[in-house]
Amino acid sequence: MPKTLELMKTTYKAVVFEHYNKNGLNSRPNAWALLFGKQAYKLAKNPYSDEIVPDFEPEVACEKAVEDEDYWMYKFRDLGYHTLQDWLGASINWPNCRGFVRPPAKHFMKPFQKRSEESAGSDIRDMFAALCRETYEDTTLYLDQFMSAYMNESQLGFIWNNDLAHSDVNGLFHSDEHFYQMLRKHERRLEKAFVIVMGDHGLRFGGIRNTEIGEMEDNNPFLMVSVPAKYRDSGLLNVIKENAKKLITHYDTYATLMEIAELVKQNNLDGLLNPKTEVFRKGHGSSYLRHSMIEPRNCKTLRIPFEFCSCHKEFEVPLDPDSDLVRQMSDNVLAHFNFMIDAGNVTSLCSEMSVQYQKSKAERLILDDGREMYRFTMTLNPSDVFTGYVEVLREGDKVKIAVVTERFERVNEYGEQGDCVENFEDLRPLCYCNQSWF
C-alpha cells in the first residue's frame, strides 16, 4: 500500500516498528495479548527458556466471557469516549468461544457481521458479491461514519479485518486507494488522534510462507504508530523512534494503550511532551511512549514462543530425507498428531494420514549448548505441509524424538477441510474430514 504508507509517514509522521513480533500461532493468542495483555497458551520448554505457564488454560479462555478482563476499550468507554468496535469474531469468539457477551463499545458491528455470515444471510452475501464489495469496505465505512458523526468529541474506533490479506500476499494492494482516501478525508480530525495500523500476524499460508522470507514475515506483523500533531515535534516522537528499533510485541501495544487511557483519566496527555524515564508496565508488556521499557528485550522475557521468535537463528544443511533419523522424526510427529486427534475423540471424522517421506526436511539449529534441535517440515497425505521444532535426545544407542512445538503450524491453506472438527481449534488444521462427513 505505497500511497497509504507514504501519506502516513509524511503527513502524520508515523513510525514503523521494524521488529514487531507475534505472540502466538494465529489470531486468538495474539488477540488476548493485544486486547487484555494476557498469555492464553503455554510456552513449552525451549532453548531460550523453561516452560512458561499461561494466565489460564486455553479452554478456560474459550469458555469464559471477557467482560471482566482489563480491556483498554472499557477504559476509554468509562472515560466518556464514544467507542466503536467490529465483532472480532475470528479472534476472540473463534472457533466456538463466548467472547463478548455484552457489547464492549457504544457502536458494535456484531449484528450486521453475524447476520451476513450465517446461513440466513445468503442474500446479503450474494448482493455484495454482485457489487464486488469486500468486507473491509463495510468495516471502514462503519469507521468513516463514526468519525464523521463525532467530529468534535472524544472517540476511539477499533476495526479488525481478517479477509483482506489473510491468505493472499497481494490482497492489500488493491485497497491502497481506499485507505488513502479515507485518511485524507479525515486528515483534520486525525491531527488530534493516535493512529495505529497493525496486523496480528503475517501471512500464514501459500508458497511464500514456505520460504525463509515467508517465515520471517509470518512472525513479523506490521505495526505503524502516529501521534497527535502537537506531539510530533516533541521528545515523544524521538522516544517512539528509538523504541521502534527494539523487539516489540502485542503486550507492549496493550500497555501503550493502557498508558494513554491513564493519562486521559489524569487529564495529563500533555505529559507526553516530556516522556517519563521509568517503565510503565501493564499486563506482560511496557509502553513504548516512555524512554525505558522492560529489559532485557528478548524472546524469553517478552514471552514470545521459541518457534515464532524473529531473532536470528542459524541452521545446518538439511539432513537426507531418506535417513533413519528423519524418518523417525516424521513418524513421531505423525504419532503426535494422531494422539491429539484421538484425545479429541474425533478419529472417526478424520481421514487417515500418511507421510510423504521424500518431502521431509530437518535442519539442525546451531546452539551454543550443543542440544540437538531441528526445524522440521513434513508433508502429509492428505493434509499437506506442517512445520515446527523437534529435539533429538540420545542415551547410548537409543534415540528419542521429543516434540517441542505442540501446535505445529500448517502452512498451506486448508479452507473447509477441517470443518468437521471446527470446535477444536488445535485439531482443525490437522484433520482432513473424511468423505462420510461431506
CA distance 17 to 281: 19
- pLDDT attached to residue 352: 95
Q: Are residues 289 and 324 in the same domain?
A: no
Structural domain total, the chain: 2
CA distance 215 to 38: 24
Q: Are residues 244 and 145 in the same domain?
A: yes
Q: Are residues 284 and 335 in the same domain?
A: no
Q: Are residues 385 and 271 in the same domain?
A: no
Percent with pLDDT over 70 in the chain:
99
pLDDT band at 162 (very low <50, low <70, confident <90, very high): confident
Model pLDDT for residues 221-257, shown as the tens digit of each residue:
999 999 999 999 999 999 999 999 999 999 999 999 9
CA distance 236 to 227: 9
With 0-12 CB in 10 A as exposed, 13-18 as middle and 19+ as buried, what is 50? exposed
Domain-embedded: residue 428: no
- Decide if pLDDT at 194 tops 60: yes
Domain CATH code at residue 226: 3.40.720
Range of the domain at 161: 2-308
pLDDT band at 263 (very low <50, low <70, confident <90, very high): very high
Cβ distance 390 to 325 under 8 Å?
Answer: no
Q: Are residues 406 and 364 in the same domain?
A: yes
Residue with cell 506482560: 284
- Decide if pLDDT at 294 tops 80: yes
CA distance 207 to 15: 30
Q: Are residues 243 and 365 in the same domain?
A: no
Domain-embedded: residue 391: yes
Percent with pLDDT over 90 in the chain:
70
Which amino acid belongs to residue 18? Answer: E
Domain-embedded: residue 431: no
- pLDDT attached to residue 170: 81
Domain-embedded: residue 434: no
- Decide if pLDDT at 89 tops 70: no
Which amino acid belongs to residue 374? Answer: Y
Neighbours of 177 (CB within 10 A): 12
Cβ distance 258 to 37 under 8 Å?
Answer: yes
Closest listed residue to residue 429, CA positions, set 205, 114, 97, 98: 205
Model pLDDT for residues 58-73, shown as the tens digit of each residue:
778 888 889 999 999 9
Model pLDDT for residues 327-350, shown as the tens digit of each residue:
999 999 999 999 999 999 999 999
Q: What is the C-alpha R_g of the chain?
A: 23
Closest listed residue to residue 250, CA positions, set 15, 393, 38, 45: 38
CA distance 142 to 147: 9
- pLDDT attached to residue 326: 97
- Decide if pLDDT at 140 tops 90: yes
Domain-embedded: residue 217: yes
CA atoms within 13 A on the CB side of 128: 14
Domain-embedded: residue 433: no
Q: Are residues 52 and 170 in the same domain?
A: yes
- pLDDT attached to residue 154: 96
Model pLDDT for residues 349-370, shown as the tens digit of each residue:
999 999 999 999 999 999 998 8
CA distance 98 to 204: 25
Model pLDDT for residues 119-134, shown as the tens digit of each residue:
777 888 888 888 888 8
Model pLDDT for residues 372-429, shown as the tens digit of each residue:
999 999 999 998 899 999 999 999 999 999 999 988 999 888 888 999 998 888 899 9
Q: Are residues 225 and 365 in the same domain?
A: no
- pLDDT attached to residue 44: 86
Model pLDDT for residues 1-35, shown as the tens digit of each residue:
899 999 999 999 999 999 999 999 888 899 999 99
Q: Are residues 293 and 339 in the same domain?
A: no
- pLDDT attached to residue 438: 57
Predicted model pTM: 0.92
pLDDT band at 97 (very low <50, low <70, confident <90, very high): confident
Domain-embedded: residue 427: no
Beta strand pairing call for 107-108 and 82-85? parallel
- Decide if pLDDT at 437 tops 70: no
CA distance 258 to 37: 10
pLDDT band at 148 (very low <50, low <70, confident <90, very high): very high
Neighbours of 29 (CB within 10 A): 26
pLDDT band at 188 (very low <50, low <70, confident <90, very high): very high
pLDDT band at 156 (very low <50, low <70, confident <90, very high): very high
Domain-embedded: residue 147: yes
Closest listed residue to residue 19, CA positions, set 286, 236, 298: 298
Residue with cell 500497555: 255
Q: Are residues 275 and 338 in the same domain?
A: no
Q: Are residues 332 and 254 in the same domain?
A: no
pLDDT, mean over the chain: 92
Q: Are residues 321 and 293 in the same domain?
A: no
**Residues in a beta bridge with 384:** 380
